[in-house]
């Protein structure tokens, strides 16, 4: 998910382009203004932490772009391409390492496991919004 700062800073195309070129397949995408109740469920694991209230304000402060990317080891591949939560510590070449400075404005969210991906996709998408198709370059991406 490109967070509100990423949308306002016109980084949506850059983020999509990186995942696309890596070989991941985009199977769902939408711009969405997350309602507070969905944001609270989305970030439920962080309730009670010192940054929770500001995190909910941040993620509901403007539209986000939600995406579902499919591919080999998609969760760990995307997490590696995102970089560390604190962009000041994120490696150059990662999205956070190239485009962000502060954890409260770190441009992108990515699921941290298959189980959380399923949960988050269910919160943000209807089943009919996930599109099954084959990329024309599929056989050039996977042996
Ligand atoms: P992740 O996004 O890399 O999975 P999490 O630990 O799940 O990181 O935290 C969720 C989000 O909460 C982060 O992406 C960041 O926006 C925010 N966050 C986490 N830790 C801090 C902090 O120490 N200060 C401010 N915001 C934070
Ligand atoms: Mg997380």
- pLDDT tens figures, 39-62: 999 999 999 999 999 999 999 999
pTM: 0.98
pLDDT of residue 81: 99
Which residue(s) pair with 26 in the sheet? 69
**CATH 3.30.70.141, domain 4-134, yes or no:** yes
pLDDT of residue 131: 98
pLDDT of residue 77: 98
- What is the SS3 assignment for 68? strand
What is the per-residue pLDDT across 4-20, written as a single tens digit (0 to 9) for each? 999 999 999 999 999 99
pLDDT of residue 53: 98
- Choose the residue to mutate in 5, 81, 104 for probing ligand 1, maximizing ligand atoms within 8 Å of C-beta: 104
**pLDDT > 90: what percent of the chain?**
100
pLDDT, mean of residues 87-110: 98
Task: Kindly write down the DSSP assignment for every residue of 103-130, as one continuous string.
Answer: TTB-SB---SSHHHHHHHHHHH--GGGS
Atom of ligand 1 minimally distant from the CA of 109: 2
43: CA distance to ligand 2 center in Å?
8
Catalytic status, residue 109? yes
pLDDT of residue 105: 98
Give how far Cα 63 sits from Cα of 3, 4, 8, 55, Å. 8, 6, 9, 14
Give how far Cα 135 sits from Cα of 5, 12, 15, 68, 71, Å. 30, 21, 19, 15, 11
């Amino acid at each position: 998910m490109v967070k509100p700062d990423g949308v306002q800073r016109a980084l949506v195309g850059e983020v999509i382009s990186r995942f696309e070129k890596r070989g991941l397949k985009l199977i769902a995408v939408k711009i969405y203004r997350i309602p507070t109740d969905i944001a609270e469920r989305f970030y439920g694991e962080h309730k009670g932490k010192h940054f929770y209230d500001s995190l909910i304000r941040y993620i509901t402060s403007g539209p986000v772009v939600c995406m579902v990317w499919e591919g080999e080891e998609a969760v760990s591949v995307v997490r590696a391409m995102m970089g560390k939560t604190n962009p000041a510590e994120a490696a150059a070449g990662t999205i956070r390492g190239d485009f962000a400075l502060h954890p409260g404005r770190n441009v992108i969210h990515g699921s941290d496991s298959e189980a959380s991906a399923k949960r988050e996709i269910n919160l943000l998408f209807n089943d009919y919004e996930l599109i099954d198709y084959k990329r024309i370059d599929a056989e050039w991406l996977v042996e």
